[in-house]
Amino acid sequence: MRNILVAMGVVGVLLGSQGASEAQLSVTPTRLANEPAATLLLPYFEVELPAAIGGKSAGITTLFTVNNASATAVLAHVTLWTDLAVPVTNFNIYLTGYDTQTVDLLDVLNGHLPQTASVGQDPGDAVSNQGPISQDINFASCNGRFPYPDSVPVESTQHMRAALTGKPSALFGGLCAGRALGGKKPIARGYITIDTVNNCTVRFPGEPGYFAFGDATNQNVLWGDYAMISKKGKVARGDALIHIQASATDPLTSDPGEYTFYQRYVANTSTDYRQPLATNYAGRFINDPKNPVFPSGTSVIVWRDTKISQNPFVCGTTPNPFPLNNEQVIVFDEQENPEIPVPPPIPPFPSQELAPFPAAAQIVKVGGPAFPVSTKAGWIFFNLNTTVAGSPSPAVDPAAAQAAVTMVLESKGKYSAAYRAVNLDNATSAGISHQRIGF
Amino acid sequence: MRKVVAGVALAMIIAVAAPPRAQAQIDVEHITNEPGATLLLPYFEAQVPKTIGGKATGIDTLFSINNASASSALVHVTIWSDLSVPVFGFNIYLTGYDVQPISMVDLLNGKLPVTADDGDDPTDTISPQGNFSQDINFPGSMAAQPAQLDVATVNHIRAALTGKPSPLLSGQCLGRDYGEKKVIARGYVTADSVFDHTALGPNDPTYFTAATDNRNILWGDSFFINKSKKIGRGDALVALRASDTDPQVNDVGEYSFYDTINGSVAPVDHRQPLGSVYAGRFVNDSQHPFYPTGTSAIVWRDSKVAQVPFTCGSTPTWFPLSQRQIVAFDEQENPELLSIAPFSGATQSVKIGGPTFPVSADSGWLYLDLNASAPSVSGSPVEDPSAQQAFVSMVFDSKAKYSVGARAIVLDDAADVNHSVLPLP
């Protein structure tokens, strides 16, 4: 018979620092798995902004959840980044043991942050409830911060909206932080990282004191999912967040110079201890309006490592390292014929490489202006390694560049189906592949 | 200024497969999104057309099998019923870097993918060869595999996947009959890298010694599409890596993906097993602003038996499958211990909050320890007869609007199970 077990303060049965099972899984930096982790990556988001702060929008929004796989209470530090990898703002989420927190980014961009609080700020559990086998502890550093106000100041909201739509932000001194892609309706774009931390830090991952046993911890306990939903368009797609595990003892994530996820912010010291993503991917595409299932074709969501810490920049300029290059992107048709650029007969000879993913986070239509493709269907080989001017990162291989790729296939107004492209390598020193097919 | 380079004989400059796949240690305990030696489509649904060759406007499952290497590949595809009985098998030849999309409705109409290796197709009229793609001859021939199956075989496949008596198997059944108005075929699919045009399948004792290889070169995707309801969702196929040297898939008693059904003491398939404990969120609230239709869990499970067809009206001995522990946490972290066994078959989609999975909370997450509550009768796998691999995806729906899927998170692996349970008060 079923029975809701009410909270009875049974902290004594907690399992220590880890839950029942998650402690069993080892961390293997060469393998990116769908397992609880110390960092979660939402590789790309879009949110249609309502005209006024606080307004509603039936257009696209992105939801994500942050969940705690362990009985131990944790703090999760959420950072919003622009599509050019400039950190825009950050906030913290307190999770009791086994807690879950859903975040609608439209709410955040309307100034409403998730309401959570550790026991010091919420002794009566009015904000963050505590289950009977869930730890609820005090993070004293959260005093005065948790729970967040119902709405953040208007200037903070305006800053987020401007930064994520490529407009000048007053809080950045009139500088820009992302791309202004135009369009009738303003769409906020960027990506999100979520790290386990040990205090209610307001630092960004690039700031001193965040890593190297500072704010960030190596608790592999977070898990989550996300969905991009357009109620108006009646389409949605989802996936698990990308789970990035940490280990301060594995040489591949702790030896100086190794490629770690946040290597660009730790000056080749590897002191974030996070495993890197892959650099080579494979994904199928359709580019045929007569395709019976996906007549609207395919788009590719690509997150890329900028390999340098990016700051706000003068609007109208394009900062280094953009546009990001790559070692090889090859389109194969279904007869395995590779599609390659044909050089002109006389110089100068332009690059023969496709470089359709110039930003840190983007969605690019296969067969569109930025990614012209002749064939109707096939698959794409992505070797997204690249060097970046001024970046010695990672020291083990400065030409390595991690990325994340998702394929989105669509029938407009009907459905949208997505899946992660397949990893063909990993960005640890044991696995980086600079292979170029055939040429 | 780009063109498609026509296939010319440049096979000699073929690049090798990406380096990580050649690793002897494959980190068995981590299921990753990398090319594997076996692909698993954990669950499919396809509306059966009324007549053979007819169209279906309802749900279909599409999947693709692709070759990540420049070397040619031969793939043995097995269609299984939802009670883990192999229904039909066929082979696909892939030149280097080849792709092969497949529709389950096509299969229910008897239409097989048409491919041929270099011996059967020396002029590349069937399986064209790209200029960086190997095209070779495998032992045996594809000639015996028709493009269009005969009516008796099609009727067998349709009956087997809908829980009806199969005319080819003396009226025995192979799966569950849901008794629906619109007939839906259900089951799962495996695709193994092989080196021979084999007629054997995973339940045959010699399949893994006589036909399969351990090349981790296959990748794929899958899509559930319902055109009439205008919903679709996708995922990568589950890729299982193999190793002939990693002790965890070679030593006596270890748990491998096919180990428990082929009855061997030491794994002969050399495939990594899946996870056994999962976490996935759910919504069970008709007023929910995004997912008013709620959540379903797609669950594939290891029956741990080489299941054969059975008398209609009866069930296999292992059915229904139970599990060690299912706990539903609400969003205030209150756990609800569920004394149910909602995932009784080898593969299924189960509505959270429905008759087979009643739950009180409006939303929260599920802790699914799908290991067995007792050692298996067969004693397999020897190292831990209670270990039981599984695979779980969560599907969130807004009826007739959209459907969103996400793989559940792996909390434990079947290769080395931690049999502790959540200590509920």
Is it the case that residue B302 has pLDDT exceeding 70? yes
Q: ∠B213-B249-B38 over CA atoms, to 5°?
A: 40
Tokens of B416: 């080395």
**A20 and B97 in contact by Cβ < 8 A?**
no
* pLDDT (0 to 100) of residue A82: 98
Chain B nearest CA to A67, separation (Å):
9
- CA nearest to A427 within chain B: B20
Q: Which residues of B touch A346 (CB under 8 A)?
A: none
Contact A130/B at CB under 8 A: yes
Distance set, CA A272 to CA A169, A218, A252, A259, A435 (Å) = 30, 8, 12, 10, 28
Q: Which residues of B touch A372 (CB under 8 A)?
A: 2
Binding-face residues of B in 32-71 toward A, CB within 8 A:
32-35, 62, 64, 66, 68, 70
Contact B362/A at CB under 8 A: no
Contact B99/A at CB under 8 A: yes
How does DSSP classify residue A274?
B
| Cα B46 to chain centroid, rounded | 15
Q: Using CA atoms of B342, B345, B350, B352 in order, give the dihedral in degrees to the nearest 10.
A: 20
Contact B420/A at CB under 8 A: yes
Query: Which of B277, B334, B423 minimises the CB distance to A13?
Result: B423
| Cα A338 to chain centroid, rounded | 31
Query: Nearest to residue B183, comparing CAs of B162, B156, B163?
Result: B162
Query: Nearest to residue B269, comparing CAs of B190, B199, B384, B346?
Result: B190
Contact B12/A at CB under 8 A: no
Q: How confident is the model at residue B204 (pLDDT cuts 50, 70, 90)?
A: very high
Give Dmax over CA atoms of chain B in angstroms.
70
Q: Which residues of B touch A417 (CB under 8 A)?
A: 223-225, 232-234
d(CA A364, CA A311): 24
Q: What is the pLDDT of residues A285-330, one digit of tens each?
A: 999 999 999 999 999 999 999 999 999 999 999 999 999 999 999 9
Of residues B415 and B242, more confidence is placed in B242
Binding-face residues of B in 115-174 toward A, CB within 8 A:
128-133
Extents of the domains making up chain A: 27-423
* pLDDT (0 to 100) of residue A105: 98
Of residues A183 and A145, more confidence is placed in A145
Average pLDDT of chain A is 91
**B364 and A100 in contact by Cβ < 8 A?**
yes
Tokens of A84: 């050019």
Is it the case that residue B19 has pLDDT exceeding 80? no
* pLDDT (0 to 100) of residue B261: 67
Q: Provide mean pLDDT across the span B122-151.
A: 92
Binding-face residues of B in 284-343 toward A, CB within 8 A:
290, 329-339
Query: Which of B130, B369, B411 minimises the CB distance to A22?
Result: B411
Q: What is the pLDDT of residues A42-62, one digit of tens each?
A: 999 999 999 999 988 879 999
Taking one residue from A and the other from B, the number of pairs with CB-CB distance under 8 angstroms is 315
Is it the case that residue A115 has pLDDT exceeding 60? yes
DSSP assignment string, B59-99:
EEEEEEEEE-SSS-EEEEEEEEETTS-EEEEEEEEE-TT-E
d(CA A353, CA A361): 20
**B290 and A69 in contact by Cβ < 8 A?**
no
Q: Provide mean pLDDT across the span A189-211.
A: 97
Is it the case that residue A7 has pLDDT exceeding 50? no
Q: Which residues of A touch B15 (CB under 8 A)?
A: 435-438
Chain B nearest CA to A171, separation (Å):
33
Q: For A413-422, B6-15, B28-37, B151-160, which range has the lowest pLDDT when averaged over its residues?
A: B6-15
Chain A nearest CA to B151, separation (Å):
26
Q: How confident is the model at residue A424 (pLDDT cuts 50, 70, 90)?
A: very high
Q: Which residues of B touch A96 (CB under 8 A)?
A: 333
SS3 B336: strand
CA A186, A191, A194, A195 dihedral sign is negative
* pLDDT (0 to 100) of residue B7: 32
* pLDDT (0 to 100) of residue B21: 35
d(CA B18, CA B159): 42
Q: How confident is the model at residue B4 (pLDDT cuts 50, 70, 90)?
A: very low
| Cα B313 to chain centroid, rounded | 26
DSSP assignment string, B379-420:
--STT-TT---EEEEEEEEETTTEEEEEEPEEEEETTS----
Q: How confident is the model at residue B262 (pLDDT cuts 50, 70, 90)?
A: low
Binding-face residues of A in 203-262 toward B, CB within 8 A:
223, 225-227, 229, 231, 234-240, 243
Q: Which residues of A touch B129 (CB under 8 A)?
A: 335-336
- In chain A, what percentage of residues exceed pLDDT 70? 92
* Amino acid, res. B266: A
Does residue A307 come out as left (phi exceeding 0), alpha (psi in the -120 to 50 range) or beta? left
d(CA B157, CA B167): 10
d(CA B278, CA A19): 13
Is it the case that residue B192 has pLDDT exceeding 50? yes
Query: Nearest to residue B27, comparing CAs of B241, B220, B297, B346?
Result: B241
Chain B nearest CA to A112, separation (Å):
17
Is it the case that residue A225 has pLDDT exceeding 50? yes
Chain A nearest CA to B159, separation (Å):
26
Strands A100-104 and A297-304: unpaired
How many residues does the structure list for chain A?
A: 439
Distance set, CA A123 to CA A135, A136, A147 (Å) = 13, 9, 12
Query: Which of B31, B97, B336 minimises the CB distance to A3?
Result: B336
Distance set, CA B183 to CA B60, B62, B84, B171, B233 (Å) = 12, 18, 19, 19, 21
Q: Which residues of A touch B408 (CB under 8 A)?
A: 34
Query: Nearest to residue A29, comparing CAs of A262, A276, A268, A266?
Result: A276
Contact A150/B at CB under 8 A: no
- The b-or-e profile of B358-368 (16+ CB within 10 A means b, else e) is ebebbbbbbbb
- CA nearest to A351 within chain B: B1
* Helices and strands (H, E) in chain B, number of each type: 4, 19
Q: For A61-65, A155-159, A182-186, B135-139, which range has the lowest pLDDT when averaged over its residues?
A: A182-186
Average pLDDT of chain B is 91
* Amino acid, res. A382: F
Q: Provide mean pLDDT across the span A381-408.
A: 95
Query: Which of A130, A337, A372 minimises the CB distance to B333?
Result: A130
Contact A35/B at CB under 8 A: yes
Contact B404/A at CB under 8 A: yes
Is it the case that residue B190 has pLDDT exceeding 50? yes
- CA nearest to B7 within chain A: A337
* pLDDT (0 to 100) of residue B129: 87
Q: Which residues of A touch B359 (CB under 8 A)?
A: 2
Binding-face residues of B in 245-274 toward A, CB within 8 A:
none
* pLDDT (0 to 100) of residue B400: 85
Of residues B265 and A231, more confidence is placed in A231
Q: With a cut of 0.95, is the ipTM above it?
A: no
Q: What is the pLDDT of residues B345-388, one digit of tens each?
A: 999 999 999 999 999 999 999 999 999 988 888 788 888 999 99
* pLDDT (0 to 100) of residue A341: 60
B366 within 8 A of B358, measured Cβ to Cβ = no
Contact B210/A at CB under 8 A: no
Q: How confident is the model at residue B17 (pLDDT cuts 50, 70, 90)?
A: very low
Tokens of B264: 């061997």
- CA nearest to A434 within chain B: B18
Tokens of A386: 């690249």
Interface-testing mutation among A35, A284, A340, A373, with chain B (most B C-beta atoms within 10 A): A35
**A30 and B20 in contact by Cβ < 8 A?**
yes
Is it the case that residue B408 has pLDDT exceeding 50? yes
Q: What is the pLDDT of residues A347-385, one digit of tens each?
A: 776 666 778 999 999 999 999 999 999 999 999 999 999
SS3 B421: coil
Query: Which of A98, A240, A438 minimises the CB distance to B13?
Result: A438
Is it the case that residue A261 has pLDDT exceeding 70? yes
Peptide bond into A369 cis (omega under 30): no
Contact B13/A at CB under 8 A: yes
- CA nearest to B134 within chain A: A336
Is it the case that residue A16 has pLDDT exceeding 50? no
Is it the case that residue B2 has pLDDT exceeding 60? no
Q: How confident is the model at residue B259 (pLDDT cuts 50, 70, 90)?
A: confident
A240 within 8 A of A225, measured Cβ to Cβ = yes
d(CA A371, CA A422): 20
Residues facing residue A95 across a β-bridge? A74
B249 within 8 A of B389, measured Cβ to Cβ = no
**B234 and A134 in contact by Cβ < 8 A?**
no
- In chain B, what percentage of residues exceed pLDDT 90? 78
